[in-house]
């Protein structure tokens, strides 16, 4: 979507390797979120951020870390990828209040 | 913690007919927002409709409308005059207060197919 980009769009990696996914926004929104989507589970929150260097865990945060050193970038890192982390990852942004959410196009990550 | 449940993994509707997708949620909050998102095969998340809990009137957007029953914690989506382009995965979502980060909590999704 306009104003938010995720990279890469697809990635295949080996078990045990580190992986970083990037979410970049040009909207200057305060809130940023990382979700993973798996069949039968919908989208589940991994981590979120409510400002630069302000982050918190979601419901499925084990094995993931995040960083937000600038308003526009929210990085999701898998320190040592496992096959259970094969999924589609979505980033979302929100300005807060009554504003809505804008989602990125998703990253399909395959861990082999 | 809030939860959202969509009990229909798959639904099917004939083109031009009406279909209703179910969603229930659990929360102790009194003020919140509810959403329906559509996800076509392109993977893009598209907002279909949203409802503010403090509004008694059900939200409508063209062929899409909701039946919001706050006491029952139910939020169903009705699609009228179904079109082939409505075929997609539909997610119900609850937004918590921004004091808790404004997180969206999603249901499991309902895969809607539309038969010509």
Q: Name every residue whose Cβ is closer than 8 Å to that of residue B62 and which is 6 or more positions away in sequence.
A: none
For residue A93, the distance in angstroms to the closest alpha carbon of chain B comes to 10
CB contact under 8 A, B44 and A56: no
Token code pair at residue B101:
């980060």
Q: Strand, coil or helix: what is A7? A: strand
CB contact under 8 A, A100 and B50: yes
- Across chain A, mean pLDDT equals 94
For residue B87, the distance in angstroms to the closest alpha carbon of chain A comes to 17
Query: Model confidence over B10-68: pLDDT tens digits?
Result: 999 999 999 999 999 999 988 899 999 999 999 999 999 999 998 889 999 999 999 99
Residue-level pLDDT at B101: 73
Q: Is the pLDDT of residue B70 over 80?
A: yes
CB contact under 8 A, A33 and B109: no
Ordered alpha helix ranges (H), B34-116? none
**Residues of B whose CB is below 8 A from A97:** 98
Where residue A2 falls among pLDDT bands split at 50, 70, 90?
low
Q: Which CATH fold topology does B3-115 show?
A: Immunoglobulin-like (2.60.40)
Residue-level pLDDT at B1: 81
For residue A53, the distance in angstroms to the closest alpha carbon of chain B comes to 14
- The C-alpha atoms of residue B36 and residue B51 are separated, in whole angstroms, by 9
The H or E element that residue A94 is part of is strand A87-94
Q: Is A35 exposed, middle or buried (0-12, 13-18, 19+ CB in 10 A)?
A: buried
Residue-level pLDDT at B46: 95
What share of chain A in percent tops pLDDT 90?
A: 89
Q: What is the DSSP letter of B14?
A: E
Element counts in chain B: helices (H) and strands (E): 0, 12
Q: Strand, coil or helix: what is A61? A: coil
Residue-level pLDDT at B30: 85
- Domains in chain A, CATH or no CATH each: 4-111 (2.60.40.10)
Query: Model confidence over A37-92: pLDDT tens digits?
Result: 998 899 999 999 999 999 999 999 999 999 999 999 999 999 999 999 999 999 99
For residue A60, the distance in angstroms to the closest alpha carbon of chain B comes to 12
Contact B20/B78 with Cβ under 8 angstroms?
A: yes
CB contact under 8 A, A48 and B101: yes
Where residue A112 falls among pLDDT bands split at 50, 70, 90?
very high
CB contact under 8 A, B101 and A56: yes
Across the range B95-106, mean pLDDT stands at: 81
Q: Taking CB atoms and an 8 Å cut-off, how many pairs form between chains A and B?
A: 48
CB contact under 8 A, B43 and A106: yes
């Amino acid at each position: 979507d306009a104003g938010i980009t995720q990279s890469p769009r697809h990635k295949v990696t080996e078990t045990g390797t580190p992986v970083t996914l990037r979410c970049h926004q040009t909207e200057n929104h305060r809130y940023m979120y990382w979700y993973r989507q798996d069949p039968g589970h919908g989208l589940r929150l991994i981590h979120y951020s409510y400002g630069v260097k302000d982050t918190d865990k979601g419901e499925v945060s084990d094995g993931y870390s995040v960083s937000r050193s600038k308003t526009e970038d929210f990085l999701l890192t898998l320190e040592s990828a496992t096959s259970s982390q094969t999924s589609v990852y979505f980033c979302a942004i929100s300005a807060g209040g009554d504003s809505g959410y804008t989602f990125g196009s998703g990253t399909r990550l395959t861990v082999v | 913690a809030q939860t959202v449940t969509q009990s229909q993994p798959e639904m099917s509707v004939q083109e031009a007919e009406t279909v209703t997708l179910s969603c229930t949620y659990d929360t102790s909050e009194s003020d919140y927002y509810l959403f329906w998102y559509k996800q076509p095969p392109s993977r893009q998340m598209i907002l279909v409709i949203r409802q503010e809990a403090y509004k008694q009137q059900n939200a409508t957007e063209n062929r899409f409308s909701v039946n919001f029953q706050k006491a029952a914690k139910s939020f169903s989506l009705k699609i009228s005059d179904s079109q082939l382009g409505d075929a997609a995965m539909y997610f119900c979502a609850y937004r918590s207060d921004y004091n808790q980060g404004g997180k969206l909590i999603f249901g499991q999704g309902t895969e809607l197919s539309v038969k010509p």
